[in-house]
Every structure is written in C-alpha cells, then in structure tokens.
C-alpha cells in the first residue's frame, strides 16, 4: 500500500453496535463493489458505521464533508502554482480511486449537480475517473468503493440527487437505534451508567414524536451522547439536557416548553 493512502487506514477498532443486518449486507455490497448510499437522519451512526466497515475490511477510508461551494475540482483535483511551477494535486476522490480506498462523501446532496455528475463514470460498470484538466483517465483500483450519505428529511424538490445518480447506488436505511441499543451506545460513548442513559433515550423518543409537529428533526444519538458527556462531567441532568438537547434543536418557545416537560418527566 502506498504512503499516500496508508495514512487513511483506521488502526483501532471503532466502537459500532450493529442495529440489524447492515454489516453483512455492506460486506456483500463491498465484495461486489456496489457503490453504497447510507440513508438516515443526522447523528444516527452512518459515519461511525462506515468507519467500522473500513476497519473491518482493512481498507483506507477517505471522508469528504460536502457543501454547496464544493466544485468538481475539490473532488478530483487541480493544478497548483508554487515555487517549482505548476503541479497537479489529486483530490480526495482521485486519491481513493487511484490507490484503492473507500471514499465517503458525507451529505453529497449539498454539492451542486455539476459536482455530483463527476461520480457517474466511477460508479457504474466503467469504474473510470476522467481527469479532464489533466488529460488522464484513471481506471479505479479494484479496492475502490464510493459511499455517500443522504438525509431524506432534508431533501426538497429543489435540492435532491438526480435519479441517474441515485440509481448507481445500493442503499441501506439507518435510523435511531432501538431503545436498548441506544441506551447501550449512549452509556458506552459518554461513560454514564445505564440508569441515566435509558432516561435520556426516553426523552429523545418523546421528542422524536414531535418531528413534523413543530420539530424539523428528532433528537439524535449524537445529542444524547453530548448530554451524557455533560452529566459525566458533573453537570446536573436538567441543565445538561437543556444545553445538549433542548436549546440546539429549536428556538420555538412552545417547543422548548414541551421538551423541558419531557426532561422533567424523567429527571
């Protein structure tokens, strides 16, 4: 393995608690080199899952957080001018395709459509990545796989992946884990005991019922871990929940009252 890619190998096993059969399905998809789309709300474990799978498959992982200012060059690479003159610098997608990594494009829908089309030739049977500016055509390394994340809740008609992009991927649905699994995860990640984390999970479950009825998104596993982290640091539970759960998710006074009431039910 080249130095360029060695740095992206995950050395220690990431903690990942499987929720259903996603590990086996992903392994099969990887061995068939099917590009994968991980669908689900923010903070529910998609990134942790891909880190775990990359570690399990012993493949390097290159992650790119996509945004609307991103251009195709940010993915494939560009010519840079320095003291020695002009030189080409591979972008993260090119590095992954050239040397055989898993490339994870987080929230790819944020990127402009002219950016997302660069992934087309490398996500169908051609498995090629044309570097038009450089005049080079890369045949993707056999170990290369593209993985994207997608939050169906955020999509609108104005901003969505084209069908021609979506249909190049297999998809796994992610959601918040079931009560016991989430309790386990929150305890493990924040160090609080299960008696407290089960209460945090119960608060989140109530709040998740408010999604679409005043809240745009549910309280995520990530937020529960933050609350647990604060409690583990000695912050009193009500204050921890206010800082980590209630205030970040809404500014609506009625919704804040409803969430405070849910917190008061359990603490």
Ligand X SMILES: Nc1ncnc2c1ncn2[C@@H]1O[C@H](COP(=O)(O)OP(=O)(O)OP(=O)(O)O)[C@@H](O)[C@H]1O
Q: Which residues form the interface with ligand X (CB under 6 A)?
A: 15-17, 19, 40, 42-48, 106, 149, 151, 177, 185, 189, 221-222, 225
Shortest reach from residue 198's CB to ligand X, in Å: 16
Strand bridging mode 102-106 / 61-65: parallel
Q: Measured from the CB atom, is 100 or 177 closer to ligand X?
A: 177
Q: Measured from the CB atom, is 73 or 229 closer to ligand X?
A: 229
Question: What six digits make up the tokens of 193?
Answer: 């005991």
Q: Kindly give the interhelix angle for 253-266 and 194-208, rounded to the nearest 10 degrees.
A: 150
Shortest reach from residue 107's CB to ligand X, in Å: 7
Shortest reach from residue 188's CB to ligand X, in Å: 7
Shortest reach from residue 59's CB to ligand X, in Å: 18
Do residues 120 and 168 lie in contact, with contact meaning Cβ atoms separated by under 8 Å? yes
Q: Measured from the CB atom, is 47 or 123 closer to ligand X?
A: 47
Question: What six digits make up the tokens of 116?
Answer: 């997302």
Q: Which residue of the chain is nearest ligand X when measured via CB? A: 45
Do residues 53 and 166 lie in contact, with contact meaning Cβ atoms separated by under 8 Å? no
CA distance 159 to 248: 24
Backbone angles phi, psi at 51, to 5 degrees: -65, -45
Shortest reach from residue 19's CB to ligand X, in Å: 6
Shortest reach from residue 48's CB to ligand X, in Å: 4
CA distance 197 to 128: 47
Q: Kindly give the interhelix angle for 179-190 and 221-232, rounded to the nearest 10 degrees.
A: 40
Return the DSSP state at 65: E
Q: Measured from the CB atom, is 16 or 26 closer to ligand X?
A: 16
Return the DSSP state at 215: B
Backbone angles phi, psi at 147, to 5 degrees: -125, 135
Q: Measured from the CB atom, is 47 or 95 closer to ligand X?
A: 47
Q: Measured from the CB atom, is 108 or 131 closer to ligand X?
A: 108
């Amino acid at each position: 393995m080249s130095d360029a890619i060695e740095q992206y190998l995950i050395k220690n096993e990431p903690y990942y608690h499987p929720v259903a059969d996603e590990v086996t399905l992903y392994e099969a998809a990887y061995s068939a080199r099917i590009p994968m789309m991980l669908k689900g709300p923010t903070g529910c474990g998609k990134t942790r899952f891909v880190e775990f799978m990359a570690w399990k498959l012993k493949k390097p992982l290159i992650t790119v957080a996509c945004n609307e200012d991103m251009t195709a060059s940010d993915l494939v690479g560009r010519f840079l001018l320095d003291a020695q003159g002009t030189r080409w610098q591979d972008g993260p997608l090119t590095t992954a395709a050239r040397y055989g990594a898993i490339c994870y494009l987080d929230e790819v829908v944020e990127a402009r459509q002219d950016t997302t089309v660069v992934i087309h030739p490398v996500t169908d049977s051609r498995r090629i990545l044309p570097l038009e500016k450089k005049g080079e055509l890369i045949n993707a390394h056999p170990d290369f796989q593209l993985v994207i994340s997608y939050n169906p809740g955020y999509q609108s008609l104005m901003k969505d992946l084209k069908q021609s992009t979506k249909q190049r991927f297999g998809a796994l649905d992610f959601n918040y884990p079931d009560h016991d699994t989430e309790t386990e995860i929150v305890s493990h990640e924040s160090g609080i005991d299960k008696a407290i984390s089960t209460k945090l999970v119960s608060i989140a479950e109530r709040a998740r019922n408010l999604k679409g009825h005043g809240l745009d998104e549910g309280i995520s596993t990530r937020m529960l871990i933050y609350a647990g982290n604060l409690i583990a640091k000695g912050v009193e539970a009500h204050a921890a929940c206010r800082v980590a759960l209630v205030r970040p998710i809404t500014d609506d006074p009625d919704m804040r009252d409803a969430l405070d009431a849910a917190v008061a039910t359990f603490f």
